Amino acid sequence: MSHDARFSLIELDTDQHLESLATEVREGLTATPKQIPCHFFYDETGSQIFEEICELPEYYLTRAESEILRDRAEEIARRYAQPIALVELGSGSAIKTRLLIDALLQEHGSLSYVPIDISPSVLEASAQQLLDDYKHLEIRAIAAEYQDGLHRIHDDDRHAKLILWLGSSIGNLDRPVAEQFISSLRAEMDPQDRLLLGIDLRKNREVLEDAYDDSRGVTARFNKNLLERINRELGADFDSGAFDFQATYDEVEGNVVSELRSRRDQTVRIDDLDLEVKFAASETIHTENSFKYSLAEIDALAHCTGFAVEDRWLDANQRYSVNLFAPTDR
């Protein structure tokens, strides 16, 4: 079959939910403490730098997750007797998804892949590649925010679903928000459906702070690109060299906090917002939280969102977990 027959893209109108860069930068840089939401990391440059981060010796998360999926993909595929719909939140780095696509096609002969991502262009590009490589793959892409996209996956009732949320993306959410979001996933799932969740584990400070502030300065560049993006898109005059990057593990919260810290007193002008932002020496801009979970916290998360942990796999170094959540009835 041609690509056209095997590909569809639904674009949901999510404008009313999507705050623009302008609005959120104004809010975040006039707040105390200052902050910029981490989803703005991922413009074209930022997405490229993120790929570099995933290859860093210190950033073990991507490798650990791939190791687990490589070892377990077949076993996961064999749990389903019939072809399924593989739903993925954030179409992400295709490499990890391919491990599962390979195993599912091997097991069932056909597969429907439903990537949900905010960017239609990212969805189209990755779909072309996948359709070329897999002749028995059908792709029903949804360009939307996760929440809106998820309401659409119910439309396809022919297949059992396996929902993927990989990369420890859950770590960006405050714990109560994570709980709400997993509950909302549960609401879209039937008894035979499963949720496969990649979650980074709590561990000692040094390993975490190295992972989030690498010796080559790639993560620092990733953070400073936020300032350069604001220069490019909002006509600002940030000198990114006048900020230092820092990642600090809060052991009690289990949270790696990423920040940019002003090296001196300075004023930044943002033309498009007609805004001047003053920074005191050492004042910070909060850029990201990366929450870590203990195994007990993952069990509790499953329990209070209507799931049981049906299976859990760790990498050989026991730094990272992939969890198969099965709906419980309640």
Query: Which region, judged by CB under 6 A, interacts with ligand AVJ, from 5-13, 118-126, 167-175, 312-320?
Result: 167-175
Q: How far is CA 159 from CA 91, 116, 189, 215, in A?
A: 20, 17, 12, 46
Quick one: which segment of 157-165, 169-177, 237-245, 322-330 binds ligand AVJ (CB under 6 A)?
169-177
Q: Is 266 in the site for ligand AVJ (CB under 6 A)?
A: no
Name which position in 171, 188, 236, 301 contacts ligand AVJ (CB under 6 A). Answer: 171
Is 91 a residue that touches ligand AVJ (CB under 6 A)?
no
Please report whether residue 93 would count as binding ligand AVJ according to CB under 6 A: no
Instruction: With CA atoms as reference, report the closest residue to 194 among 302, 330, 304.
Output: 302
Q: How far is the CB of 173 from ligand AVJ (least distance, A)?
A: 10
Query: Is the peptide bond between 33 and the residue preceding it cis, with omega within 30 degrees of 0?
Result: yes
Cα atoms found within 13 Å of the Cα of residue 163, Cβ hemisphere only: 25
Three-state SS for 70-94 is HHHHHHHHCCCCCCEEEEEECCCCH
- Assess 219 for contact with ligand AVJ (CB under 6 A): yes
Q: Looking at the DSSP assignment, which residues form a beta bridge with residue 199? A: 321
Bridge partner residues of 160 (DSSP):
84
Q: Looking at 113, 212, 243, 245, which residue binds ligand AVJ (CB under 6 A)?
A: 212
The reply to whether 168 sits near ligand AVJ by the rule CB under 6 A is yes
Q: How far is the CB of 192 from ligand AVJ (least distance, A)?
A: 29
Nearer to ligand AVJ, 56 or 273 (CB): 56
- 162 φ/ψ sector (left φ>0, alpha ψ -120 to 50, else beta): beta
Give residues in contact with ligand AVJ (CB under 6 A): 53, 61, 167-169, 171-172, 212, 219, 288, 290
